[in-house]
Amino acid sequence: MIRDITIGQYYPADSIIHRLDPRVKFTGTLALIVSLFLFDSFYGFLLCGGFVAAVIIMAKLPLKYVLKGMRPILFLLLFMMIFNLLLTPGEVLGSWWIFTVTKEGIRSALFMGLRLIFLVLGSSIMTYTTTPNKLTDAMERIFAPLKLIKVPVHEFSMMISIALRFIPILLEETDKIMKAQQARGADFENGNVFKRIKALIPLLVPLFVSAFRRAGDLAEAMEARCYHGGKGRTKLKPLKYAFRDAIAYIVLVGLIVGAVFIP
């Protein structure tokens, strides 16, 4: 089930969007989100829609794949739109039993729906086109100024990249422990909610023990390889801006300006 979710997964392809500096993509996503909440007219959404569509085409992402990523938010989307539709006061268009539909309601439901769709689209385009490693690199660089107020930026990004490295290993281990416990008669599938939660204990305890052992081993191995925090560290693949990144920044500024000035 976990494997079916495409949000946050990298889609390998050779495109200009894939080659963009991850810092551009990160700030771009932020810019898109900010602009989404700045304007309040259909022209603004037209602008955003055009922008997102252009990026999807340039990134050579198959539309089917992108839409599949939207499936998990479908429920939330409907829920939000229905509430907005029914609970916004204003000029009444029609009413039935306790429900009333207003002109403002339709408007705000549509706007909220579009906002959510573009928000999720924007951030999933970022993760589709950027490897998790590059993304953590970008975050480390973008948040580097926070080091001045003693935020352990390097340590956080190291933690994220190590977590990403160990997710498949721990998933595999969970599977192994599950099978081992099932072979000894454990039942993970039957019974009510409480029983099932209780059944997880013999799975979680060995998983945690092993995760801690791994963490200890890894810390020792990192120390043996001269790891001593972010100080004086160099990079195999340092982030470097190219000409295309400058153009991308200009486009982003255009987007924000457009969002501010569109009526």
Partner 1 sequence: MVNFDQVTFEYIRRDEEGNVESINKALDDISLDIKEGDFVVVLGANGSGKSTFAKHINALLEPTEGIVTVSGYNTKEEDKLLQIRENAGMVFQNPDNQIVASVIEEDVAFGPENIGVPTEEMWKRVEHALEKTGMTAYREKSPNKLSGGQKQRVAIAGVLAMRPKCIILDEPTAMLDPVGRNEVISTVKELNKQEGITVILITHYMQEAVDADFCYVMNKGNVVMKGKPREIFAKVEELKQYKLDVPQVTELAYRLRKAGLDLPECVLSEDEFTEAIRRLKCR
Contact footprint for partner 1 (CB under 8 A): 132-133, 161-162, 164-165, 168-169, 214, 217-218, 220-228, 232-238
Strand-strand pairing, 99-102 and 92-96: antiparallel
User: Least distance (Å) from partner 1 to the CB of residue 230?
Assistant: 10
SS3 call for 93: strand
Torsions phi, psi of 63, nearest 5?
-60, -35
Nearer to partner 1, 163 or 246 (CB): 163
For residue 30, give the nearest of 117, 157, 119 by alpha carbon.
119
Beta bridge partners of 94: 101
SS3 call for 200: coil
Nearer to partner 1, 218 or 260 (CB): 218
User: Least distance (Å) from partner 1 to the CB of residue 31?
Assistant: 28
User: Least distance (Å) from partner 1 to the CB of residue 218?
Assistant: 5
Give the angle 147-150-153 at the CA atoms, nearest 5°. 50
User: Least distance (Å) from partner 1 to the CB of residue 131?
Assistant: 8
Q: Are 118 and 32 in contact (CB under 8 A)?
A: yes
Nearer to partner 1, 27 or 133 (CB): 133
Nearer to partner 1, 146 or 218 (CB): 218
